[in-house]
Amino acid sequence: MNSFFPPWRGGAESYAYNLATNLHRRGHEVVVYCGDAPSPPGTEIVDGVRVERLKIVRRFYGTPVMPSLLGRLSTEGADVLHANFPSPYIAFVTGLASGLTRTASVLTWHNDLPKVTTTAGLLVELHDRILLPAYAPSFRRIIATTKEYASTSRNLQRFRDKVVVIPNGVDTTRFNPHVNGYGIRDKFGFWKHRVLLFVGALTKWHRYKGLDVLLSATSLLKNTDKNVRLLVVGDGSLTLEYRALAKLLGISDQVIFAGNVPDDVLPKYYACADILIVPSKDRSEGFGLTILEANATGKPVIGSNVGGIPSVIEDGKNGRLVPPNSPSILAENIRQVLSSEDLIAKLGSAGRLIAEKHDWSIVTERTEKLYESVQSAQENVRF
């Protein structure tokens, strides 16, 4: 269960799609329940997976509410229910269905709820103090995608006896160093430029992604390297705000807002870049799937030392870690990496090796073993 499913774009959606399709390839019957945006409500088969898109009656602080979800889950006859957080609604309803039907259930905790506004902060506290203790006991296991997040999340620490770490995955066939990015460079006129890449949603719920920090860092690079270009992949309600900030900083000619790009073209955007930048502001960043996608393409990553990012970026090996919310330090690290082709190649090659250890085939097998353990209640299974 997930709030949305492709063609909706997002990390949790990518996780749900890849896990579901890989489980199908391993011979399982997989059904995904999700909201009906952007596709209409109804049933469809996506790469062998039955997708049930339910009518969304309203959204509460970004969370879709689907009244039919509980009934559908309770009558599906599933062997295991698997929900994705940070949707409190999905988690609560799945936990309730699990309890009512005595069906084994698993919850993947991608990240804590972000406190994007004062009101949202109050709701987060309400969830953490009251709602979470009501539904978390229903799940036999809670998946954290990094050891870092598992050990630092206040919420996960409360249920640490249930927590198991299974990292996020990446399709190392689709994302690989042999992908040709020259067409994208040609499209944007990047033949003589060094390209920084940002991939992420540009919505108010994703302010923590830190694009404003990266824009400020890019402006600091302008005086020393006029050949640097920032390519932004993603769209949302804050796009105009970020465009205005780029103009205010005097770098409109150095920043390209590419919007959302098709999934089959996305690997080429990684291939055209020199470095992926993940300038997240706080621990709302639970993993950073884009890090694996860039590394799988043989590209280094510079990311903030927050949330789950330090579990994915090994500083000095497949990229660099920098303090969050510091444009000057970010700019200096970008400058240092761009100054050495050998360093870029070294970090990118190491990144590819790390990504191969996170291939979806490996992640799916570990998740499959977890399903088997929660069904048989064998609590001594190790992962």
- Same domain for 199 and 138, yes or no, is no
224 lies in some domain? yes
Q: b/e string for 136-146 if b means 16 or more Cβ within 10 A?
A: bebbbbbbbbb
Domain assignment of residue 256, given as a range: 182-356
- Same domain for 277 and 225, yes or no, is yes
Q: How far apart are CA 69 and CA 314, in angstroms?
A: 40
* DSSP string covering 52-115: EEEPP-EEETTEEE-TTHHHHHHHS--SEEEEEET-HHHHHHHHHHHHHHT-EEEEEE--PPP-
Q: Is 200 exposed, middle or buried (0-12, 13-18, 19+ CB in 10 A)?
A: buried
- Same domain for 103 and 242, yes or no, is no
- Same domain for 133 and 195, yes or no, is no
22 lies in some domain? yes
Give the per-residue pLDDT at 377.
64
Cβ contact 162:357 at 8 Å: no
- What's the CATH number where 198 sits? 3.40.50.2000
Q: How far apart are CA 95 and CA 100, in angstroms?
A: 9
DSSP-derived 3-state class of residue 229: strand
Residue matched to tokens 């970090």: 347
297 lies in some domain? yes
Which residues does residue 198 pair with via DSSP β-bridges, in sequence order? Answer: 232
Cβ contact 302:334 at 8 Å: yes
Query: Residue 368: how many CB atoms within 10 A of its CB?
Result: 17
* Domain count within the chain: 2
- Same domain for 58 and 133, yes or no, is yes
- Same domain for 371 and 276, yes or no, is no
**Phi, psi of 220, rounded to the nearest 5 degrees:** -75, -25
- Same domain for 154 and 198, yes or no, is no
259 lies in some domain? yes
- Same domain for 163 and 191, yes or no, is no
Cβ contact 76:31 at 8 Å: yes
- Same domain for 216 and 259, yes or no, is yes
- Same domain for 233 and 367, yes or no, is no
177 lies in some domain? no
- Same domain for 234 and 352, yes or no, is yes
48 lies in some domain? yes
Q: How far apart are CA 164 and CA 222, in angstroms?
A: 45
Cβ contact 100:123 at 8 Å: no
Q: Is 376 exposed, middle or buried (0-12, 13-18, 19+ CB in 10 A)?
A: exposed
- Two tokens, residue 271: 């291939």
- Same domain for 327 and 212, yes or no, is yes
Q: Average pLDDT of each block of 10 consecutive residues along the chain (383 residues)?
A: 90 94 97 95 97 94 91 96 95 96 96 82 91 95 92 92 95 97 96 94 91 97 88 96 97 96 95 98 85 98 94 96 98 96 98 97 97 75 35
DSSP-derived 3-state class of residue 206: helix
176 lies in some domain? no
382 lies in some domain? no
